[in-house]
Amino acid sequence: MSLSRFMQKTFGAANRGLYRGTGGKVGGKFKGAPILLLTTQGRKSGKPRVTPLMYVRDGDALVLVASSGGSPQHPSWFLNLRDRPDVEVQIGKETEQRRARVATPEERERLWPRAVEMYGGYAGYQTKTSREIPLVVLEPRG
């Protein structure tokens, strides 16, 4: 496992516990950007997988960036929701059911600058990888 992947896993585990235990008061922001907890169903295991992620609001939708720190591979959470798009999101103490989809090219063109404005590291991640980093739109279900 690479050092970057190890750090992502370690940070994720610590953040999940602190976030859940405090209702997002601890772990609810990263460098000023809001954090949510995304629960996907593992595409291979079928087990719930919880990942803390930064997000941008776009009307009723929440937008996630599948950057994986500029890795050449998509993050596991992205692969999980691509196969099983029904997810749960926790923001603060509130949880809601959402349906995930990849942003259209037009949406990505509009939303990418907002994501980079929220967290400038995304621009650097895009230059590190040959894949286009997907944006994921989480829409309310039901």
Q: Look at the block and give the residue holding tokens 């405090």.
A: 22
Domain ranges of the chain: 3-140
Write down the CATH superfamily of domain 3-140: Electron Transport, Fmn-binding Protein; Chain A (2.30.110.10)
Is residue 5's pLDDT more than 80?
A: no
Phi, psi of 130 (to 5 degrees): -85, -15
Question: What is the rounded CA–CA span in Å between residue 64 and residue 36?
Answer: 10
For 47-93, how does the pLDDT look when each residue is reduced to its tens digit (9 = 90+)? 999 999 999 999 999 999 999 888 889 999 999 999 999 999 999 99
For 86-95, how does the pLDDT look when each residue is reduced to its tens digit (9 = 90+)? 999 999 999 9
For 99-124, how does the pLDDT look when each residue is reduced to its tens digit (9 = 90+)? 999 999 999 999 999 999 999 999 98
pTM given for the model? 0.86
